[in-house]
Structure formats: C-alpha cells, structure tokens
A and B are shown apart, each in its own frame.
Chain A
Amino acid sequence: MTSTKTAPVDGPATQEPTGTPLARRLLAANSAWTFAILVALVAFFAIASPPGTFLSQYNITQIATNAAIYLVLGVGMTYVIITGGIDLSNGSVLILSGVLAAEFMVHNGGYKAGWSVILVGIVISVLTGTAWGSIQGVLVAKAKVPPFIVTLGGLGAALGLAQIITTGNDVAGGAPNTLVETLGLGELFGTVPWLVVLAVAVTVAFGLVLAQTRFGRYTYAVGSNAEAVRRSGIRVDRHLVKVYALAGLMAGIAGVMSLAFFHTTTIAGHSYDNLNVITAVVMGGTSLFGGRGTVVGTVIGVFIPAVLNSGLVILGVQTYWQSVAVGAVLIAAVYVDQIRRRSRERG
C-alpha cells in the first residue's frame, strides 16, 4: 500500500515472520469500506424498521434466498474479472442450461419426475453451462477475441438457442415437484433454505480455491501480468479456458437453482443478471483491470443490493432508490480502486 523506500539496514530484521497482521491486511483490502457500507446499511435498517421486521429470521432468510443465485453467478464472475476479463453471458447461459434440463425432465415424467430423472437434468444443466463456458474460454484464450465480444456474442446466442428450443415459451412442467419442494423451497433443519446452503457451499469452496490454491494464484497472476506468467512456464491459455469454464459451470448450477425456485424456466427473467453480477463483484473490490479481488468482497457486493431492497420495502420507500444507491456505490468503488492503483504505482 504505502511505498516505503527505507534505506536497507544490515543485520537480522526484527519483523514478525508470519506476515502482515490481519488488521492491516483487512484495512488494505479494497472490500473493507464496502463492508463498512454493508454494516452501516444493516445497522440503519435494523434501527429504522419496526422491531421484529428487518432482523427477523423470516426476513434474513428472504434476503439470503434472493441473493443465492447472484452469489453463485458472482463467484464465477469474480474469477473471470480477476483474469482481466468479463462475462456478459451468464444470464443467458443460466437460461439455456435450465431450458435443456427442463426439456429433458418434461419428457421424462414432468411434474411427477423422480430423483433419477432430476439428477440427469441437473447433470445436463451443469454440463451445458460448463461446455458453453469452455467454448467462450477457447475463443478468448486461443482465438484472442476480446472477452467482452465473446461473451456479448454468447449472451445473444445462448438466449437465442433457448428460445428456439422452447419456441420462446417457458417449459411448463420442466421443474418436477420433487425438485421444487427440496432445492427450491425446502429448508435444512427447517430453517436454512437449501438454495442458501448450496450457494454458501459453492461460495466457500471456490472462495478457498481462489485464495489458497495454485489455481487461484494463477488466476491472479494471469490478470496481473499474463506475459510474465507465460514466461514462467504456465499455460496461460489453458488457465483462461478453465476460468471461463468455471463461470459456465456456475451458470449451469444457477440454472438448476432458478428452475427449482421459480418452478419453471424463466426465459425473460435474466436479462440483467450479467450487469447486476458485475456490479456486485466490482463493488466488492475486484478490479476490472484484473489481478485483484476476493470472493468475500463479492459476497458483500451481492448483499448490498439485497439488503437495500429488503430494507426499503420494509420502510415503505420506493425500492427504485436501490438502483440509485447501488449505482452510486459502484462508481465510488471503481473510483477508489483507481486512486489506490495510482498511488501504489508511483514507486
């Protein structure tokens, strides 16, 4: 953070061997102040709303459920943006994955389909998303088409294919009751929705992969200086394909979640998923220039709009204010990132 050009001192240094203290690392993190905003929002709504509304178990569950799908998409987007890329296609890939799964399930029992059919449907959705992501990754990494264009094309193409398959109508009976009653509406121990459990599991798993493993380290390195990574003997193109495939996998998982939660394919319902998720990821401190970001930040970024929405509804304020506030926080987040970058790189 600070560029310390202290004169080198000979002899054993008296610094702690375990690295920077946690507190300092947290302060240095880009997501620290967005976290402060989230805490402030929660505190404000908790105080301003009638007792037993905002912080009720019901409302917290609602907020978490509404955030679950964005959270899963956000994890994939975090990886992509850290490599310096972007994924505009996730909403459409979610729809296409869900539509293909629904088409299979509707022809194999429909509402009454059992677990074996549902599992095949889930596999179809997850594989569709992953395959679509991989193709986009190959186009980005090997064909060198800019990610913005590849995923813009992917956005249109995936939605178009979904509409061709369904002739533009949502697949009635594509979400078996068993799936809806478990993943869609069911709750673990009768309290935590399965949707949230799944989102948390995915977030924690891939958050750890990003922070603690070689895969994550290469993701940061590629976004930081791809040429240096190439010279170190790392296959940059292969890594990029994997990252875009991961984003597709997340869209495939989100496709199943959406199917289970909304009881049907929601072909018209995901047009703004890409922009909402990018907003959340960037608010969470992930740099659009690549090289920096965290899944923890993305979690914060996903919850800011979710908390705002819920709080404003409870207070009886027009929820459109949410869009205004989120827009302002987004621009502020990128502004802070720019300042940081400039002050850091004078060295």
Chain B
Amino acid sequence: MTEPLLRAAGLTKRYGQVHALQGADFSANPGEVVALIGDNGAGKSTLVKVLCGAIQPDGGQISLDGQVVHFANPFEAQRHGIETVYQDLSLAPDLDAAANLHLGREVFRGGVLRPFHVLDRAAMRSSARSAFAELGVDLQDIDVPVASLSGGQRQSVAVARAVAYASKVIFMDEPTAALGVVQRGRVLDTIRRVRDRGVSVVLISHNMPEVLAVSDRVEVLRLGRRVARYVTAQTSVEELVGAMTGALAGEAAA
C-alpha cells in the first residue's frame, strides 16, 4: 500500500474528565472514500474536528503527504487543501448560492475599484455555475437566498463549496442525514465523482447500507480509539456493527 495522504497517529483529546480520543489512529489514501463509523460518543466528531483544525489535540501527530502538520485553525487546514462539509452545512441562509460558495474567498473588481474590495458578482456567479455544473447539480435559481432552496439543493451548495477548494481531503459529516432518497443518491454520486478526481473523501455516517454502497474502506472508532479497519468489498453490516459495539475485538487488516 502507498503512503497515506492523511495519517493521524495516537491522537488524544480530553474534555475535563471525558477522554474523547484515547490514542486514535486514522488514515486516508488519495482517491478513496473512507467511511469513519462508530457509535455515539465513539469520538468521530472530535476526531474530524481535530483533523480539520477546528480543535487542537492534546497529543498525537497528524501528517499530510508524509509531512507532519499542525492546524491551529480550520483555515490552515483549508490552505493545505482540506475542506469540511459540516452537518449543519454552515451556509449563510440570507445569501445566495454564489455568495455562499465564495464566502471568505470573494472575487473583486479590478482597476480603480480594487482597493475598495468591490465584489465582482458576475465572475462569482459564473464560477459558481461551473462549480455546480461540474458536480452535475442543476441549480435553477442561483440568485435566491439559500434559505429558500430545498434541503438537497442546500446540501449541494455546501458540497460544491468544499469540492471547489479541496485539493486533498474532504470531510463530510452525515451528508445525507436530512435528505430524501433521490437527493441521497445524487450526493453519493457526487462523492464518487470527487473521489475519481484523486481527492480523498472521509465520510462520517450512521447509515450502514450507505457506507457499504459508497466507501472503499471503513475505519471503525470505539471509545476514542480505532478498533478496526476493513476493505468495504470484504465486509458486511454485521461485521461493522460488531466492531462498533465491541462484540468483535481486534484490528482487522485492511
């Protein structure tokens, strides 16, 4: 196996008396979908927050492309090409899709207007259009506030934003939790398409059939540690649930 794109070793994090991470390991390879699963309180959210720079670990090491990295905040992770689609989507509901896609990365008009940071709406709109087109998302109304879009469309905006800037890794926290069947299928297609560009997609999900359908590998977290790794093609729902609940012990080779 090649060197993982993103590797975490022995991460620890405690909140007061709670040991959220107790020496957790994790790895993701380029161009694969890794599902990160675990029961509630297993430490999934904490692990993802550490890996995307939202919180600092108490101990352990993260490396990207073989280099040890420290992310003091999410922007440093973003600078390294790591993006996150949060479960709550992190969109500004009063702004339109193009504005959300470019939030914090606005495009400005040139010339004499440059020092005033005047927004170049046309440029942002057209780049948003091409970002959506690339994902196969058809957003009829790109100028309405995101709040008036459907749940699936909003999800698409959040995913498109992450995809537009992620060159290495995308974390997706329960990306289909709020979606209907058709929209869920579309998001899973999007995940595959992103993977096929060589980006590593880390999928956090409770939905076992979905995990089996879309992931290449599965890493199982339990009580703040990685307890098992599987190649998706060679595992089953029973096995995954067993690893999550502790019925099966030991790290399987993957």
Question: B-contacting residues of A (Cβ < 8 Å)?
Answer: 1-6, 8-10, 13, 15, 17-20, 209, 212-215, 217, 220-221, 223-225, 227-229, 231-234, 291-292, 344-345, 347
For the complex, would chain B's binding face be called helix, strand, loop or mixed by DSSP majority? loop
Compute how far the CA of A3 lies from the CA of B150 in the bound complex, rounded to whole angstroms.
Answer: 7
B-side contacts of A10, CB under 8 Å: 138
Most buried by A among B104, B117, B154: B104
20 contacts between A and B (CB under 8 A): A1-B144, A3-B149, A3-B150, A4-B140, A17-B125, A19-B125, A19-B143, A20-B143, A212-B119, A214-B108, A214-B117, A214-B119, A220-B92, A223-B94, A225-B93, A228-B91, A228-B92, A229-B104, A232-B90, A291-B94
Q: Check A227 against B125 for contact (C-beta < 8 Å).
A: no
Q: How many residues of B contact A (CB 8 A)?
A: 43
Q: How far is the CA of A232 from the CA of B125 in the complex (A)?
A: 18
Which chain B residues in 93-124 approach chain A with CB under 8 Å?
93-95, 99, 103-106, 108, 116-119, 121-122
Contact: A221 with B74, CB < 8 Å? no
Closest to B149 in A: A347
- Shortest Cβ distance from A325 into chain B, in angstroms? 29
B12 within 8 A of A: no
Question: Do A344 and B117 contact each other (CB < 8 Å), given the known contacts A231-B74, A231-B86?
Answer: no
Q: B residues within 8 Å of A by Cβ? A: 54, 73-75, 78, 84, 86, 89-95, 99, 103-106, 108, 116-119, 121-122, 125-126, 129, 137-138, 140-145, 147-151, 154
Min CB gap B154→A, angstroms: 8
In the complex, A18→B144 CA distance in Å? 13
In the bound complex, residues from chain A placing their C-beta under 8 Å from that of B140 are 4, 6, 13, 15
Specify which chain B residues have a CB less than 8 angstroms from the CB of A224 in the assembled complex: 92-95
Contacts of B75 in A (CB 8 A): 233
Q: Are A221 and B148 in contact (CB under 8 A)?
A: no
- Within the complex, the shortest CB–CB distance from A162 to chain B, in Å, comes to 35
- Cα(A4)–Cα(B104), bound, Å: 28
Question: Nearest Cβ distance between residue A289 and chain B, in whole angstroms?
Answer: 9
Q: Are the C-beta atoms of A233 and B74 separated by less than 8 Å?
A: yes
Q: CB-CB < 8 A to A4: which residues of B?
A: 140-141
| B91 (CB) vs chain A CBs: closest residue | A228
Point out the residue from A3, A213, A223, A225 that lies within 8 Å of B91, measured CB to CB: A225
A274–B151 Cα gap in the complex (Å)? 39
Instruction: Give min CB distance, A227 to chain B, whole Å.
Output: 7
Measured between alpha carbons, how far is A291 from B92 in the docked complex, in Å? 8
CB-based nearest A residue for B138 = A8
B118–A212 touching, CB < 8 Å:
yes
Expressed in whole angstroms, the Cα–Cα distance for A231 and B95 within the complex equals 16
Which 4 residue pairs spanning A and B have beta carbons closest together?
Answer: A232-B104, A291-B94, A224-B92, A8-B138
A224 to B103, CA, bound (A): 12
A261 to B116, CA, bound (A): 32
> Distance (Å) between the CB of A233 and the closest chain B CB?
4
Q: Which of B84, B99, B119, B122 has the most CB of A within 10 A?
A: B119
Residues on B with beta carbons closer than 8 Å to the beta carbon of A292:
94
Q: How far is the CA of A142 from the CA of B22 in the complex (A)?
A: 33
Given that A2-B148, A345-B147 are contacting pairs, would A9 and B138 also be in contact in the complex, using a CB cutoff of 8 Å?
yes
Smallest CB-CB separation from B117: which chain A residue?
A: A214
Flag if B90 contacts A228 (CB, 8 Å): yes
